[in-house]
Amino acid sequence: MKRILLASASIVAFAGAAAADVTFSGDAEFGYNDTDNPDSAADDKGFYYSFGLGVAGSMELDNGLTAAMSGDVTIGGADTFDSNNVAVDDLKVSLSSDTASLTFGDTAPAADAMWSGVGNMEADGFNDEDDLANEDGQLVGMMEFGGTKVGISTAVVDGDMKGMQLGVTGSAGSVSYGVAYQDDEWTGNDILGLRVGMSLGGADVALGYADNGTRDSTAVSVSYPVGDVTVGAFYSMESAGDDNYGLSVAYASGPLSVDALFHDGQDEDMQLNVKYDMGNGLTLAGGYRAEGSNQADIAYVSASYDLGGGATALFSYVDVSRGSAGTATAAGEFGPGEDLREGMTVEVSFAF
């Protein structure tokens, strides 16, 4: 990572600032995969690569506000050495103080960013950025006062504002709360979400309700730590279709971590993931996932080695046994970190 200080005389866009702090970062990956994923339109088999450049700049203005910008440029593709394949992502600009901010660009709208669902609720599907056709970006305002944070956003579509979201989070003593709202310009129906969380006898308990105009969900979740083990459960009553419920167990101690989950209802899933840090730069991982009825059973193993200086070597193998409905997992997003490719993969990556 490289930092460059630019004199304010050269930053005409932010007059009145003493200096700008501009940060450059980079990343690159190069690898080989031996399997063509049938669920992907691209030919995933063979060599792949990508190179990325990130830039972020900020400066404090004379009035105490901070102006900032950031963006990423990615060169390359998953299946071809084509230097003409260039993507510019995550562009955004912001103006902020200690208690408020205004951001425009490729950033999450307020409800999507601030809402925390309870279990697997079906009715709390708040939209993300780029979900509206011809969207230019999101205009998001945030403000904090006392123990409460309020956010409001609107999409900018072809230069006009469309699609409002509102988010509120906060706490009062040992009780936390959240409210999220999305207007009907996104999907044709308003969406409302309410959440309350508290600690009872060492357990974290949350209650949630969501209504999207066509269905509603009412849910409860409980998480309880016992030494190095954390046990969780949730139940979501659904007005349409089967209720959702699930159990989870997570263990973490020293170099070893193990987690397992079981979900049923409209969201079927079963997972077991194990990771062990050898302490010499080598990390081993393995696991199994059953996506649900007529979908895929997935098994994986991986070994990553820290080469130092931001470089990492990876070997992984992912076996996918597809059911009649195929797999719900996107190509290249297998494993608990959603970053493994189907089949055998050898990769080296760098971060600068």
- Residue 1: what pLDDT? 36
CB 314 within 8 A of CB 277: no
Provide the 8-state DSSP code for 114: H
Which pLDDT tens digit goes with each residue over 9-39?
333 344 444 567 999 999 999 999 998 877 7
Quick one: which of 74, 79, 86, 85 has its CA closest to 47?
79
In whole angstroms, give the CA distance from residue 82 to residue 71.
Answer: 21
Pair of tokens at residue 172: 């009062």
C-alpha angle 246-252-256 in degrees, rounded to nearest 5: 120
Query: Tokens at residue 80, please?
Result: 């071809």
What are the tens digits of pLDDT across the range 265-308?
998 999 999 999 999 999 999 999 998 877 888 999 999 999 99
Per-residue pLDDT of the chain (352 residues; tens, 9 = 90+): 333 333 333 333 444 445 679 999 999 999 999 988 777 666 668 888 888 999 999 999 989 899 999 999 888 765 445 556 788 888 999 999 999 999 999 999 999 999 999 999 999 999 988 888 888 999 999 999 988 999 999 999 998 999 999 999 999 988 999 999 999 988 888 999 999 999 998 999 999 999 999 999 999 999 999 999 999 999 999 999 999 999 999 999 999 999 999 999 998 999 999 999 999 999 999 999 998 877 888 999 999 999 999 999 999 999 998 877 677 676 667 887 778 999 999 999 999 9
Class of the CATH domain delimited by 99-226: mainly beta
* Calpha distance 148→144 (Å, rounded): 6
Are the C-beta atoms of 312 and 336 separated by less than 8 Å? no
CA dist 148 and 102 (Å) reads 17
Q: How far is CA 195 from CA 125, 164, 256, in A?
A: 14, 20, 33
Which residue's entry shows tokens 């309870």?
118
Q: What are phi and psi of 310, to 5 degrees?
A: 90, 5
pLDDT of 17 reads 46
Q: What is the per-residue pLDDT for 282?
A: 97
CB atoms within 10 A of CB 69: 18
Q: Cβ-count burial of 112 within 10 angstroms (0-12 exposed, 13-18 middle, 19+ buried)?
A: buried
What is d(CA 246, CA 259) in angstroms, rounded to the nearest whole number? 14
Q: 124 near 191, Cβ under 8 Å?
A: yes
Q: Cβ distance 147 to 170 under 8 Å? A: yes
Determine the Cα–Cα distance for residues 122 and 166; give it in Å rounded to an integer.
19
- How far apart CA 297 and CA 319 sit, in angstroms, is 8
pLDDT of the residue at 19? 66
Domain boundaries, the chain: 1-92, 99-226
- Which residue stretches of the chain are H helix? 110-114
DSSP state of 333: -
Q: How far apart are CA 72 and CA 64, in angstroms?
A: 27
- CA 27 → CA 56, 220, 314, distances in Å? 15, 41, 15
